[in-house]
Chain A
Amino acid sequence: MSRLALSDTLPGLMPSTEDLHALEPARAGAVELGREIALWPLEALRGADPVLGLAVLMIIALLAGEAVRRATGLPRALGAMLVGALASPLALSLVTPLELDRWKPLLDLAVGLLVFELGTRIRPRWLRDNPWLAVKSLAEALLAGLAVALALGALGASPSAAALAGAVAMAGSPVIVMAVVGELRPRGQVTERLLVMTAVNTVCAVLALSLWQIAVTLDADGFEWLPVLAGVLYALCGACLLGTCAGLLLERLSRQIRGTGLATLQLALVVIAAMLAAQFTVSPLLSLLVAGMVARARMGHRLQVEPQLGSGGAALTLLLLLTLGLLSTLDGLLGLWPLVAAIIGARLLAKVGTVLLLARPSGLGWRQALGLGLALQPASGLTVLLTSATLGWPAALPAPEAAPMQALLIALTLLQLSGPVWLQLGLRVVARESDARPD
């Protein structure tokens, strides 16, 4: 899974060390404040081995999660991400994104497990039984992408940058959705639809990104349809094939295994599938999603997937949320805010609008549709970046324009950090889906 390292493969999308240095004065105020309050522990953490530092941060994130839950009633995931954001170069600079590389395999595993779990929650037959739901899922993703691309285009971004932003903006965040749904355990129609639509829009984003990459590569030599189509088909079929094999293998092997062994087996297969996906340059995300779906369809109730695969998985999820916070970037927000607002606004309008428009034919009430639209807002760069990384980023490719890309990253940061709030608002407050189990 080392091939998934995003900072290596997507130089344009991650803030480089030079950028961070350039921002030194802007951050100085915050850092000064931090030093005054607690000079020694912060310095100690900064100087510490990043693994040790991150482990300490995990404990703080855990406590912060509880504090957030008690004080505001919001999901614990929010606390973990905020601790990450606070420790990031945004504020205290305790850990820099580059130092996260040592944790990379664990983070990939955490994403893999959550995506696999999302797969096990999806029954593809539903999209056949309710064709309007299929239409709604596709339309929501495509229109959100289109709206963001058009909005950025109108504000002067190049077509290529606008298209890339559109492709990324299609996707929801399987990570945040699964982490928060695992915590809130809401039951009902909106939650079920949120899971399906998150899977569909993530797949759409994966395909759109591979399409974009191929199209941009070919642009120089004149556009040809055949290679574009072949590339997308390869990404789709390869991932489906790999996922199906992994799901079938899980089913076959699980017959010999009882009890907790099943969770270990799932873990190992998730790692293998992700590694192979990287090997064959197909999307690991799509592969794991398919693997989860196939395993559920074949195994039924024998597939006991505990949320986040039990306590070990929960620790991985916490680490992942912390990392999402650490990767936050708001650099240049003051200058880029019109672009950022355009991305968030266009995405919000497109997603909520589509869900509301197709609410009745697909069998949803107005209030539920509004809740679903809001719950679809969380976005995550990480998941999509992981995907595109495995397709490889040709070195010859010119980096996308800096301004729209930075605006996209800021928008993703905001939609990511606010993710748990959107989900709580959409699922609990508006759609009123809750779990009556005692906390």
Chain B
Amino acid sequence: MPLQDFATSEPLTLGVELELQLISTHDQDLVPQAEDLLRETARHTGAWDIKPEIARSMIEIGSSIQREHAPLLAELRDMRDQLVHASRRLNIAIAGGGTHAYQHWSEQQIYPGERFHYLSDLYGYLAKQFTVFGQHVHVGCADGDRALWLLHALSRYVPHFIALAASSPFVQGQDTGFDSARLNSVFAFPLSGRAPFVRSWEEFGAYFDKMAGTGVVKSMKDFYWDIRPKPEYGTIELRVCDTPLTVEKAAALACYLQAICRHLLEERPFEPAEDDYLVYTYNRFQACRFGLAGEIVDPQTKARVRLRDDIVRTLAKVDAHAVDLKSWEACQEIRDSLGEGNDATWLRRQHQRNRQQGEAPLSEVVEAAARRWRGAA
């Protein structure tokens, strides 16, 4: 199947997708009840969307197309409230977070569906190990060429989003030492990483045809890149964020991205280059491992800079755009979170507090995360 044309969409419009955990209220482990929740929410009110994911203990929700922070946040809150209501009727809880703290990958059940079973057959244990939860943000682009330009220009900001959204310090019952251990799971896939450095949609089409010719890929869905074009929507999709613990954080991250995109498109502060990617995986690792305290290398100046400082500088640069986009509050929330620490820090703090009280079951941490998702903590 050849690559489809890049649909035109209104530039800088946003769409947010969140993969969420379904949790037992009894032992706080993941529960395979996606079908039940989908049935309960089938007649929801709202323009948002709810879909199954590969494991039966996950669901994915998607916002409608949004332009500004306030309506996006209102929609996400409505979505959350309706989901919480439905989940209560089923005696389950919903939580954000990039990983479940102690679920065991071998216990996950694949959601019935042709594509999910295909993935499960192809990737084997990787598919089950892929029970991780991310936030994807779509940004509308006028055409394919501009989408690819933006995609590559955004690459140097990818560590920002990894560090800000990081909420997966615990995996299989252990503190991994990473702020975002989720991305390590994504990295295991053969077609993960970054998109090839091509700048026009035509060149990208040629690349896609070559890949399809090898039989390695059938559709754009087979690429697990950090940022990938989504031609049918006319968007590029940032996929590096862990699902935050609150919808407020999710909305803030999306609008921070929107402000950076406007800054890049209108001011064109630099031209993306192939060499930008020399430091890409190193920076990405720093953000995953150390979060906001990570040190990244500026691809142009080659200077080392602390991620937290780089975000402060970027916020200063995009502030005017944020005001124009009516997303100043979102950027303010990002600024506040630099002081408070990311969600990984919050989760570790919960764990630490339990430990000081003489107990350290991670189930307490999961329960606290579910409370936080409901907006109760």
**Are the C-beta atoms of A130 and B88 separated by less than 8 Å?**
yes
B365 and chain A: residue at smallest CB distance: A301
Chain A residue numbers with a CB within 8 Å of B32 are 187-188, 433
Does A261 sit at the interface, judged by CB under 8 A?
no
Listed stretches A2-10, A121-129, A373-381, A409-417; interface member: A121-129
Count of chain A residues with Cβ under 8 Å from any Cβ of B?
Answer: 25
Q: Which residue of A is nearest B29, CB measured?
A: A187
Please pick, from A187, A302, A433, the residue contacting B359 in the complex, using a CB distance under 8 A: A302
Give the residue among B25, B26, B361, B364 with the most A Cβ atoms within 10 A: B26
CB distance from A292 to the nearest CB of B (A): 12
Question: Is there contact, CB below 8 Å, between A123 and B91?
Answer: yes
B367 contact set on A, CB distance < 8 A? 300-301
Chain A nearest CB from B365 CB (Å) reads 10
- 296-312 of chain A: CB within 8 A of chain B: 300-302
CB distance from A398 to the nearest CB of B (A): 45
Q: Which residues does chain A contribute within 8 Å of B40, judged by CB atoms?
A: 363
Across the interface, do B24 and A187 meet the contact criterion of CB distance under 8 Å?
A: yes
Task: Pick the interface stretch among B104-112, B285-293, B333-341.
Answer: B104-112
Nearest-neighbour CB distance to chain B for A402, whole angstroms, equals 44
A126 contacts across to B, CB distance below 8 A: 25, 88, 91
A126 to B26 CA separation, bound complex (whole angstroms): 12
- Answer whether residue A435 sits at the interface, using C-beta atoms and an 8 A cutoff: yes
Task: Report whether B359 and A436 are in contact in the complex, using a CB–CB cutoff of 8 Å.
Answer: no
Q: How far is the CA of A133 from the CA of B89 in the complex (A)?
A: 9
Q: How many cross-chain pairs have Cβ atoms below 8 Å apart between A and B?
A: 61
Assembly CA distance A130 to B40 (angstroms)? 12
Neighbouring B residues of A368 by C-beta, 8 Å: 36
Whether B91 lies near A192 (C-beta < 8 A) is yes
B235 at interface by CB-CB < 8 Å: no
**By the criterion CB–CB under 8 Å, are B364 and A129 in contact?**
no
Q: Mark A361-374, 1 if CB is under 8 A from B, else 0.
A: 01111001000000
Cβ-based interface call for A437 (8 A): yes
Q: Are A130 and B89 in contact (CB under 8 A)?
A: yes
Contact with B along A418-439 (1 / 0, CB 8 A): 0000000000000001111110
Do B107 and A435 have beta carbons less than 8 Å apart?
yes
Q: Is the CB of B88 within 8 A of A437?
A: no
A189 CB contacts on chain B under 8 angstroms:
33, 36, 90-91
Residue from A121, A364, A436 in contact with B26 in the complex, judged by beta carbons closer than 8 Å: A121
Contact B109 A436 (CB under 8 A): yes
Distance A187 CA – B31 CA, assembled complex (angstroms): 7
Q: Inside 8 A of B108's CB, which chain A residues have their CB?
A: 436
A363 touches B89 (CB 8 A): yes
A301→B28 contact, CB < 8 A: yes
One of B28, B88, B104, B109 near A129 (C-beta < 8 A): B88
Contact A301 B24 (CB under 8 A): no
Q: Report the minimal beta-carbon distance from A194 to chain B, rounded to whole angstroms.
A: 12
Residues of chain A lying within 8 A (CB to CB) of residue B358: 258
Chain B: interface residue total (CB-CB under 8 A): 27
Check B364 against A363 for contact (C-beta < 8 Å): no
Contact A365 B39 (CB under 8 A): yes
Please indicate the chain B residues that have their CB under 8 angstroms from the CB of A123 in the complex. Answer: 25-26, 91
Residues of the A chain whose Cβ atoms lie less than 8 Å from the Cβ of B359: 301-302
Q: Which of chain A's residues have a CB closer than 8 A to the CB of B86? A: 363
How far does the alpha carbon of A437 sit from the alpha carbon of B359 in the complex, in Å?
26
Docked pose: A368 CA to B35 CA in angstroms: 11
B363 at the A interface (CB under 8 A): yes
A130: chain B residues at CB < 8 Å are 88-91
Contacts of A434 in B (CB 8 A): 109
Contacts of A365 in B (CB 8 A): 35-36, 39
C-alpha gap A409/B164 in the complex (Å) = 65
Q: Are B36 and A363 in contact (CB under 8 A)?
A: yes
| Minimum Cβ distance to chain B for residue A432 (Å) | 9
Chain A contacts with B in 127-153, Cβ cutoff 8 A: 129-130, 133
B107 and A436 contacting across the interface, CB-CB below 8 Å: yes
CA distance A365 to B90 in the complex (A): 12
Q: How far is the CA of A431 from the CA of B365 in the complex (A)?
A: 31
Instruction: List the A residue with the shortest CB-CB distance to B364.
Output: A301
A351 to chain B, nearest CB (A): 21
State the CA gap A56–B108 with chains docked (Å): 40
B100 CB, nearest partner CB in chain A, Å: 14
Q: Which chain B positions have C-beta within 8 A of A192?
A: 26, 91
Partner-A contacts on B (CB < 8 A):
24-26, 28, 31-33, 35-36, 39-40, 86, 88-91, 104, 106-109, 358-359, 361, 363-364, 367
Q: What are 19 contact pairs spanning A and B, CB under 8 A?
A: A121-B26, A123-B25, A126-B88, A129-B89, A130-B91, A133-B89, A187-B31, A189-B33, A192-B26, A300-B367, A301-B364, A301-B367, A363-B36, A365-B39, A434-B109, A435-B107, A436-B108, A437-B106, A437-B107
13 more A-B residue pairs beyond the given contacts A123-B25, A192-B26, with a C-beta to C-beta distance below 8 A: A123-B26, A123-B91, A126-B91, A189-B33, A189-B91, A258-B358, A362-B89, A363-B36, A363-B40, A363-B86, A363-B90, A364-B36, A435-B107
Which 10 pairs between the two chains have the least Cβ-Cβ distance?
Answer: A129-B88, A130-B89, A126-B91, A436-B107, A301-B363, A189-B36, A301-B361, A363-B40, A363-B89, A301-B364
Which residues of A approach B to under 8 Å, CB–CB? Answer: 121, 123, 126, 129-130, 133, 187-189, 192, 258, 300-302, 362-365, 368, 433-438
